[in-house]
Amino acid sequence: MKVSFLIDNALREAVVNSCIGILLKAMDIECKLDNYNFFYSPSGFDFFDRTRENIDLTLFPSYNVNRTPEQLSRAIRTNSMMVATHAEQIINSALYKEKLNTSAKSKYSKQITSHFVWGPFFAELLMTHSSIPADKIYITGNPKLQVSTRLNTSTPNLSPSKSVLIVSDFSLGDMDDERWSQFKKRYKANYNTPIHRHYYEARRKLVNWVLTASERYPNIHFKMRIHPGEDRAAYELLKGTNNISLVGDRDFIEDVLDSGLVFSYSSTSLFEVLVMDKQVFNLDLHDLPEERKGEYFELFEWVNKSQFMDILRNYDEGKVFYPSSGRKKLLEKYMYGGNQKAVLRNAIAIKDVLENRIAQYGFSDFLVHYRNLCLSLVKDKAVKAGIWFNKELGLQNYISTLANRRKEADLNNPVRLNPNKIESAYKIASGIVTESEIEILKNNLYEIRKEKDGIYIDF
């Protein structure tokens, strides 16, 4: 049997899925990591090259029936079942249509063989808003949190200096009104207020706060972690300052481990930070409208500019900050099992799906597949023709220019998976997975329990 993990962000997903892959390999289940997206290059469009081999099960970090038909086509072409692992499970109601496929419930339920969720919170959303039956939902916990915890206990801080991490989630602030309108339409985001403007203003304030703090506390190293794809020009004012560095090209976990304190605006990365026993504060930069807020905002600990400076002063004087026990307990509401055995539960859930489930694609699904095959073939032939005209006849053209630019952009993209990242991820994962976990799998030392809100795995 063979399993494929699709990676949308190599910096955040490669190590976690490598851990699960190591456990599966111990049961003679072959695994591979692959990029979620398909790419253009001077060699053509790579859909056909990357969907040649049969795969028994493919895990998708996200899937939308209407927006990502190429992923359905990938599964059908490789004779694979589809499992949704839901990379984003802490969401607000404006994104239900995109994340929960509320406008395509029937197809969604049939196309996705099983769902792996972090806790009862998201299981309830799937059942209530997507009409997904409980017997298709495995409540596994969040494997990223377990990996973060293992790294936190086994890896010392990477820098002896006083380091503060500031996590950006301001990508929406890059958009003008037209792009914002296109974003809402593409992702069916039901926002009534100009959220992008709120994030633009918040980011402007953040830059000002960080500049002021860096001058006031020269002994603190401020690491501004830029969101993948975010416009770095927005942080131009921070360049050239000795104790500020712009980061974002390595694993998020490494930056957290390297920091004694973390700040953010509204990023859900706080879940990983809290479970690693690092304190994270939310910067009250700009008041967000109610429609942007979610139930998970109850975990946020807001501080204004004056409080931000006071916290940094105390940190500079040697105070060590930890999250409160109450805040960490509240985290359990969203994450089943906290940071324990989630990697193992995911491996067991995959094994159970392989042994007991089958794909159920209908006639309309195959129509989508054939349409995508035709479209992918046109893309591939058009790119190859454009490259041929450029190379053989010296005719520069839009297609060849696009293909070369896309190749360069993709290769330089820090979140894109490549052989070096795969090798590095497996090396880190091999130091995280334990022999006791492998023994549990090999000896079936677990029980699968079906409840009204989903399937649980007990040890």
- Asked if residue 53 has pLDDT above 80, the reply is yes
* 260 and 310 inside one domain: yes
Is 27 domain-assigned? yes
For residue 104, how many C-alpha atoms fall within 13 Å in the half-sphere facing its CB?
18
* 107 and 256 inside one domain: no
Alpha helices in 114-232 (DSSP H): 120-129, 143-154, 177-186, 195-216
d(CA 100, CA 105): 8
d(CA 131, CA 145): 28
pLDDT of 339: 66
Domain encompassing residue 224: 156-331
Residue that is last in its domain, among 288, 313, 331? 331
Q: What is the pTM of this model?
A: 0.82
* 312 and 391 inside one domain: no
Tell me the β-bridge partners of 138.
116, 455
pLDDT of 389: 83
Cβ contacts of 287 within 8 Å, gap of 6 or more: 198
Is 64 domain-assigned? yes
Is 370 domain-assigned? yes
d(CA 229, CA 449): 41
* 261 and 395 inside one domain: no
The whole-number average pLDDT for the span 31-51 is: 92
* 243 and 373 inside one domain: no
Residue that is last in its domain, among 331, 350, 376? 331
> Which token pair is 19?
């851990």
Are the CB atoms for 249 and 10 separated by under 8 Å?
Answer: no
* 208 and 251 inside one domain: yes
| Apex 46 CA angle, 42 and 48, nearest 5 | 135
Is 407 domain-assigned? yes
The burial class, CB within 10 Å (0-12 / 13-18 / 19+), for 246 is middle
Is 150 domain-assigned? no
* 87 and 70 inside one domain: yes
Chain mean pLDDT for the chain: 91
**Signed CA dihedral, 15, 20, 26, 32: sign only:** negative
Is 278 domain-assigned? yes
d(CA 181, CA 411): 29
Backbone angles phi, psi at 357, to 5 degrees: -125, 160
8-19 pLDDT per residue, tens? 999 889 999 999
- Only one residue has tokens 């190293």, namely 221
* 97 and 238 inside one domain: no
309-338 pLDDT per residue, tens? 999 999 999 999 999 989 888 887 788 876
* 254 and 320 inside one domain: yes
* 362 and 429 inside one domain: yes
* 237 and 370 inside one domain: no
What is the total count of domains within the chain?
2
pLDDT of 394: 80
CATH of the domain at 21: 3.40.50
- Asked if residue 203 has pLDDT above 90, the reply is yes
Residue that is last in its domain, among 331, 359, 381? 331
| C-alpha closest to that of 115 among 459, 457, 455, 458 | 455
* 282 and 215 inside one domain: yes
Is 147 domain-assigned? no
CATH of the domain at 235: 3.40.50.2000
Number of other residues whose CB lies within 10 A of the CB of residue 450: 10
